[in-house]
Amino acid sequence: MATVEVDDDIYSVLEARAEEKDFDDTGEYIEHLLEQVVDKIKKEKEQQESSYSEEEEEEVKKRLRGLGYLD
């Protein structure tokens, strides 16, 4: 496990929020937040990978025009 230094002011805010949210300790709350961020990053990456390239998008539009769905 890695160790990360956090500014005292930021840690104080996270510590108070951890207590409000009934986490056992501040470290557990920070880990929870980081897991949420990592999940969001993974989802964004998956969306980018599944997106069409410009060439692919143009090919789809060309096919739809040929079928009469686009003008």
24: in domain: yes
Residue-wise pLDDT tens digits, 18-54? 999 999 999 999 999 999 999 999 998 888 777 788 8
Q: What is the dihedral of CA 40, 44, 47, 52, to 10 degrees?
A: 170
1: in domain: no
71: in domain: no
55: in domain: yes
3: in domain: no
Number of compact structural domains in the chain: 1
pLDDT of amino acid 48: 79
2: in domain: no
Rounded CA-CA distance 66/71 in Å is 9
Label residue 10 by pLDDT band (50, 70, 90).
very high
Q: Domain of residue 31: give its range.
A: 8-66
Residue-wise pLDDT tens digits, 52-68? 888 988 999 999 999 99
